[in-house]
Amino acid sequence: MLGAGLLMGLASCGGRTARTARTPDTIALAPCPRFDADSAMNHIVRQCDFGPRIPASQAAERCVEYIKAAFEQYGAEVGTQSFEASLYDGTKYAATNIIARLNTANPDRLLLCAHWDSRPWADSDPLERNWQKPVPAANDGASGVAVLLELCRLLQQKPIPVGIDFVCFDAEDVGAPQWARPEDDEDSGWCQGSLFWARKAKADGYRARYGILLDMVGGRGSTFSREMVSRRYADPVVDMVWRLAHQLGYGHYFPLRDGGFLTDDHVNVNQTARVPCIDIVPYFEAGPSSFGPTWHTVDDTPENIDPHVLAAVGQTLTQLLYNEAQTYDN
């Protein structure tokens, strides 16, 4: 996940507009299984056990195989996209997107995505001696993948007819480190995997009704503001997700508050693949980073993941998917 400097225009703590203060409308809730945060937590730990999943590392290779095997175990058809990514210094390396699909014969599809790679440099760590160490990436990477895997497991146990594509992007977090980039070039090198996927999706005529990107969805103290690129391209989806979260009792985690405009993988999904896609991403009002105290530091470890945050995000999305299944019965 990229620079905090891109999170702009956040609503102040003081006033609330009529729009942000309104009570969400009621949505009919379909019967759905319980999202198991412990299962998702196990997937986070397993990914981190490989070590940081940085470019061209054995840890990255092993993690790709783990994610593929887990999706296959949960009944998905799994494939990969290989592409060439690059670091800020021009170093090229082989990168891999992972694509898992359910109900492949159904052309009516939903897209759920996250990135699986680790940032090679902990360049926001408070200690300068850590800046060139890799990020363990329990939250900024593994948490989103873990939620996708647990959703796939639930859908295997209680299938629905909805076509679903799970995409795990590589090379999201290899943007130039702070010490190596000009102040006006914060976008350099980020989100390469989603750009490759989006270009191919456009060329192949891929269609999905909407998409949801998960980025850093397990950090302690996290709450999720309504990100503004998401609102620009997919505001009805934002409204639906936040309404569901409130109705399920997770309003504390999904405050009716607007965030800023983020450069993240969903930008490529929206602008290049032309799939309306939202980003569920945290916003911290206080601290060294608006993405939380462990963002791009060596402290982004499983010990700093909160299963309650995982449950809030995961159960909201579980409910969303089973609500979508109801439309096939009506």
Supply the CATH number for residue 296's domain. Answer: 3.40.630.10
Mean of pLDDT over the chain: 91
Looking at per-residue pLDDT, the higher value among 138 and 187 belongs to: 138
Q: pLDDT tens digits, residue range 7-24? A: 333 322 222 223 344 445
Q: How far apart are CA 282 and CA 286, in angstroms?
A: 12
CA distances from 100 to 110, 125, 147, 278 (A): 12, 34, 14, 19
Which has the closest alpha carbon to 52: 7, 108, 119?
A: 119
Specify whether the CB–CB gap between 214 and 316 falls below 8 A. Answer: no
Q: How far apart are CA 74 and CA 157, in angstroms?
A: 8
pTM score, whole prediction: 0.92
Q: pLDDT tens digits, residue range 34-75? A: 999 999 999 999 999 999 999 999 999 999 999 999 999 999
Neighbours of 19 (CB within 10 A): 8
- Which residue spans within the chain are E strands per DSSP? 77-86, 92-102, 109-115, 163-169, 210-214, 277-280
Q: How many structural domains are present in the chain?
A: 1
Which residues, other chains included, contact 139 with Cβ-Cβ below 8 Å and sequence gap of 6+?
216, 217, 218, 219, 292, 294, 295, 300, 304, 305
Q: Which residue range is the domain that position 276 belongs to? A: 4-326
